[in-house]
Amino acid sequence: MKHIQANDSNNDNRDESSYSRREILKMAALAGTGIVVGMSGMASLFAINNGQKIIPDPEDFQSEIVNKDVIPFYGVRQAGIGTPQQMYMCFAAFDIISNNVEKLKQLLKIWTDISAEMSAGRALRETNGQREVNSIGEKYTDSSAKLTITFGFGSTLFTKNGIDRFGLGTQCPDELRDIPSMPGETIHSQISGGDICIQACSSDPTVAFHVIRNLAAASIEIAVIRWIQTGFIDASNGQTPRNLFGFKDGTANIELESEQGKEKHVWVESSKGPAWMINGTYLAARKIRMDMEKWEQTFVRKQEAIFGRTKNNGAPLGMHDELDAVSMREIPSDSHVWLARSTGTKILRRSYSYFEGIDPVTGNLNAGLFFISFQQSVRKQLVPMLSLLAKDDALNPFISTISSSVFACPPGSSEGGYIGEQLFEVN
Ligand code: HEM
């Protein structure tokens, strides 16, 4: 086992860029806590012992895959977009506090390594005694619980307050623009935007929580959390989940979930540059508060007219089954479905419900939908839909939008590479 004196890093004259990825990873972890676990596949359990930082050799650990519920992290496209939706989400937006592009790249490399390990559910065990942990940190589990971790870059990573901190300004995609303000919304900047977003989804809420915690611990002195949102969908046993208003939500996604549907509407293709975004997509996230008390006082018949679908089985009005074709003649022209379809554009929705207790001012439930959609173009696919809905949707008296963010999700990475490398390596 290798021992490093507590003040080693002060005496070390090496330039930051000459540290290896693993060393940076170790330092980031050491900066955070006495024991940080699950940071990478090998030497990632650290301890402070009698004032000395101890970094064990890889051989001190047995690394094994104990998990059948693995959704691969590496791939041409990032997981957590086109992969089946898990029940729980923890979504964090980070601001980068360093202006050094090398530090930013190191962070992305570290985050990639850690994410691949956690997604694989790789178990790390300390053989010399004290503590048994696995790669999801404080979470003791024998499963990665269908974990996916998805990264996105905000427009402020490219230019912030007119300053191109990382020399990436010319690479900013045209599509990475804020959603224009919509009638009736009140956007709070402290829960909107951010330089980098990370969406962790899992079938276990504590896995999603610890993933964000672990990634935050590895980012010390380079990034800070700007906001976090957690969310859940109901256990649907293969059924379309219901939102907090009790309606099946996601029915019309089915078409988009096919490979063909995603190629056509979700993944950025070569003709729709920039080149570093090919096989990536754009993520829009909007927190939408839902007025549960008002909804509960509304007759079901009226609720159904508002959505244009039945509450019981989600069938379009005038039809029998959920998957029956929607007849625009049968549903009200101010209904949510009528308006959302009438633009003719399609988006892949992957939203989560949220519930955050009682509003201290009104005493009402603080609950709603953390709306997430993926699309090739926010401007051409989502904004026309939002504009129509914001103006005329019969649902509007029951909802209010309080946050809005757009992120460019780069393509996936391969082992040895890192998330976003296509962006950084073009420079
Ligand atoms: C709290 C807010 C919202 C709630 C409760 C809600 C709920 C629903 C429900 C119940 C459906 C019908 C079932 C389905 O096809 O999934 C639906 C459909 C849809 N919603 Fe929303 N939604 C909300 C916000 C939004 C927003 C902000 C957008 C994007 C602009 C959106 C876009 C769509 C689309 C595209 C469809 C499918 C329409 C179709 O092709 O049939 N929704 N939504």
The pLDDT tens digits of the residues spanning 380-402 come to 999 999 999 999 999 999 999 99
In contact, 16 and 4? CB cutoff 8 Å: no
**Does the pLDDT at position 126 exceed 60?**
no
The DSSP result for 153-183, as a single string, is E-GGGT-BTTB-TTS-GGG--TT--PPPP-T
Please say whether the beta carbons of 295 and 303 come within 8 A.
yes
Q: Which has the higher per-residue pLDDT, 84 or 45?
A: 84
Name the least confident of 126-140, 259-273, 403-417: 126-140
What is the Cα gyration radius of the chain? 23
Residue 69: what pLDDT?
82
Please say if the pLDDT value at position 94 is more than 70. yes
Residues 2-51 have pLDDT tens digits of 332 233 333 333 333 333 444 444 444 433 332 233 333 322 333 223 33
**Whether 111 contacts 29, CB under 8 Å:** no
Region 147-154: what's the mean pLDDT?
97
pLDDT of 326 above 60 = yes
pLDDT score recorded for residue 141: 55
pTM of the model: 0.85
Residue among 286, 322, 348, 349 to mutate when testing ligand 1 (max atoms within 8 A of CB):
349
Give 100's contacts (C-beta < 8 A, 6+ positions apart).
16
Predicted local confidence at residue 37, as pLDDT: 32
3-state DSSP assignment of residue 198: strand
User: pLDDT tens digit string along 111-124?
Assistant: 999 899 888 876 43
* Mean per-residue pLDDT of the chain: 83
Whether 341 is in the pocket of ligand 1, judged by its Cβ within 6 Å, is: yes
Mean pLDDT of 41-67: 34
Q: With a cut of 70, say whether residue 298 has pLDDT above it.
A: yes
Closest ligand 1 atom to 346 CA? 35
How would you classify residue 209: left for phi > 0, otherwise alpha for psi between -120 and 50, otherwise beta? alpha
Average pLDDT over residues 157-171: 96
Asked which of 99-103, 136-140, 236-240, 300-304 is least confident by mean pLDDT, the reply is: 136-140
Handedness of CA 336, 90, 83, 87 (dihedral sign): negative
Q: How far is the CA of 80 from the centre of ligand 1 (A)?
A: 20
| Å from CA of 416 to ligand 1 middle | 39
- Of residues 51 and 293, the one with the higher pLDDT is 293
Taking alpha carbons only, the member of 339, 315, 313 closest to residue 328 is: 339
Give the range among 61-70, 283-292, 322-331 with minimum mean pLDDT: 61-70
Q: Is the confidence at residue 312, as pLDDT, over 80?
A: yes
Q: Whose CA is nearest to atom 37 of ligand 1?
A: 252
The pLDDT tens digits of the residues spanning 332-377 come to 999 999 999 999 999 999 999 999 999 999 999 999 999 999 999 9
Rounded distance between C-alpha atoms, residue 420 and residue 276, angstroms: 8
Give residue 220's pLDDT: 87
Least-confidence region, from 79-83, 167-171, 236-240, 304-308 = 236-240
pLDDT-derived band at 222 (thresholds 50, 70, 90) equals very high
* Other residues' Cβ atoms within 10 Å of the Cβ of residue 364: 13
Nearest atom in ligand 1 to the alpha carbon of residue 309 is 12
- CA count, 13 A, side-chain hemisphere, 140: 4
Residue 89 near residue 201, CB atoms below 8 Å: yes
Q: What is the mean pLDDT of residues 95-99?
A: 97
Ligand 1 atom 32, closest CA: 340
Give the residue with greater pLDDT, 54 vs 175. Answer: 175
Quote the ligand 1 centre to 249 CA distance (angstroms).
7
Q: How far apart are CA 23 and CA 29, in angstroms?
A: 10
- Residue 22: CA count within 13 A, CB half-sphere: 12
Gap between the Cα atoms of 144 and 208, Å rounded: 10
Q: Does any ligand 1 atom lie closer than 6 A to the CB of residue 249?
A: yes
Give the pLDDT confidence score for residue 145 in this predicted structure.
87
The average pLDDT across 267-287 equals 92
What is the predicted pLDDT for the residue at 144?
Answer: 76
> Is 251's C-beta closer than 6 angstroms to any atom of ligand 1?
yes
pLDDT for 68: 61
pLDDT score of 143: 66
Question: Which atom of ligand 1 sits closest to the CA of residue 240?
Answer: 16
CA of 181 to the centre of ligand 1 (A): 19
DSSP, residue by residue, 85-100: PPSEEEEEEEEE----
pLDDT of residue 214: 87
